[in-house]
Amino acid sequence: MKTYCKHTKCGGTLFVRHCIDLYLKDKKGRSDVKRFIASYDGDLDAIAADMAGEIRSGNIRLGEIRYFNRIEPTNGKRRVIGRETVRHQIFDWIAVTALMPMLKAKVGPHQCASIKGRGTGRVRQLIKRWSFEGRFKYFIKMDVRKYYPSIDRPTLKKMLAHDVGDAQLLRLTFTLIDSYQGKNGLNIGSYLSQWLANYYLSGAFHYAAEQLTATRRHKDGTTVSRRLIDHVVFYMDDILLVSHSKRDLKMAATRMVRWIEKNLKVSIHPEWNLKHCALEPVDMAGFTFRPDGRVNIRTVIFLRMRRAFNRAARASWIGYDLAKRCASYWGYLVHSDSWSYRRRHGIDSTMRRVRASLRLHAKMQRRRYAITDRVQ
């Protein structure tokens, strides 16, 4: 098997400075970033030289990760989020930038979430296109139980050691992985974790896309191989399998669960079952998909979106927090078949007021930063 990232120069000052510039894009106004840069008297070259020296020596200073609980408003799930220091975040960017050739090669084309250009919009595009096909008949949706906390670190490190040829980069990546709390799992909220989470399931994706087959032997001794599934898409740890054959799909799902639990040492939620596309829509990435190509918003998200836009429509002036909430839901309305709802409830005119509120807030922030810089 091919080995990637053999000579990354991740301990070079120029490479680290390039990663710092990538990290600081759209983050220079944050107070914690300003404090970190000020601790080096604003000298980014000194920061790069210091961090590059730590990578070469192996004595990497990360700072303490602050953890807090978050309850998901749509499903009530409790998640532990880790907030890293600025120094730790920059090391994440260095590791991901150096690992990128390997990550791009390994992560499957239909593995979505936390990848630029492959978010909910990409999932919606794929499933909507498949829904017009005559073979879009049955589907099974499954997900990994508590995916981030249950990732097996020894297995992940073994995969990285097999695919990455730079010892210095491996040492940095292992140090970052070991800095997370507990003996297993990754940190929700880390830039490195979101890429490693996709990488960890990449083997499962390629197994589903390439090896879920069945072979039939004829009387004359010839054999014919066929695929058990027609389509597969991953949205982080949510897995959707689609097939025109009920028997083949059930066989494929059983093999898939067995492969994941054996090779990745994580467990699949046991309540998955086979469903008919004509009787029940596919619920994935915040949308529901029907065989005629119609795309609707998931009910829980739609109710919260409607409440936010109703509040904005009644308000004489839309505050910043409410404007952010409406803007985050706007994408669901644009990328679903909700034009008649938008027209009936005047959503587009409310959205124009939301944009005006966000523009004013951004203008005030820029002015505040300019005053602060002049004072300093």
DSSP code at position 240: E
Summarize the confidence of residues 241-254 as an average pLDDT: 94
The whole-number pLDDT of residue 365 equals 80
8-state DSSP, 211: T
pLDDT classification of 149: cutoffs 50, 70, 90: very high
Strand pairing partners for 71?
A: 78
Closest alpha carbon to 294 in 342, 248, 232, 337: 337
Contacts of 12 (CB under 8 A, 6+ apart): 52
Read off the pLDDT band of 374 (50, 70, 90): low
- Give the pLDDT score at 210: 92
pLDDT greater than 80 at residue 119:
yes
179-238 confidence digits (pLDDT tens): 999 889 999 989 999 999 999 999 999 999 999 998 888 777 788 888 999 999 999 999
Work out the average pLDDT over 71-99.
90
Q: Which of 111, 185, 194, 110 is nearest to 153 (CA)?
A: 185
pLDDT at 29: 80
For 273, the token pair is 């079952």
87: its two tokens: 């120094």
- What is the C-alpha to C-alpha distance for residues 294 and 308, in angstroms, rounded to an integer? 24
Q: Give the pLDDT mean for 75-80.
A: 82
Query: Mean pLDDT, to the nearest integer, of 79-96?
Result: 94
Assess whether pLDDT exceeds 80 at residue 138. Answer: yes
| Mean predicted lDDT score pLDDT of the chain | 91
Q: What is the mean pLDDT of residues 168-176?
A: 96
pLDDT > 70: percent of the chain: 98
Phi, psi of 76 (to 5 degrees): 75, 10
What's the pLDDT band for 74 if we cut at 50, 70, 90?
Answer: confident
SS3 100: helix
Mind listing the pLDDT tens digit for each residue in 304-318? 999 999 999 999 999
Average pLDDT over residues 57-62: 92
d(CA 137, CA 351) in angstroms, rounded, equals 38
Cβ within 8 Å of residue 256, ≥6 positions away? 142, 204, 207, 208, 212, 239, 241
pLDDT, residue 236, reads 93
- Classify 49 in phi/psi space as left (phi over 0), alpha (psi -120 to 50) or beta: alpha
What average pLDDT score do residues 274-298 get? Answer: 91
Task: Tell me how far apart the alpha carbons of residues 111 and 202 are, in angstroms, rounded to a whole number.
Answer: 8
pLDDT band at 368 (very low <50, low <70, confident <90, very high): confident
The confidence band for 371, taking pLDDT boundaries of 50, 70 and 90, is low
What burial class does residue 88 get, using C-beta atoms within 10 Å of its C-beta: 0-12 exposed, 13-18 middle, 19+ buried?
Answer: buried
Task: Read off the pLDDT of each residue in 33-50 and give the average, rounded to a whole number.
Answer: 93
User: What is the three-state SS of 45-63?
Assistant: HHHHHHHHHHHHHCCCCCC
Mean pLDDT of the 112-116 span: 89
Q: Is the pLDDT at 301 greater than 70, yes or no?
A: yes
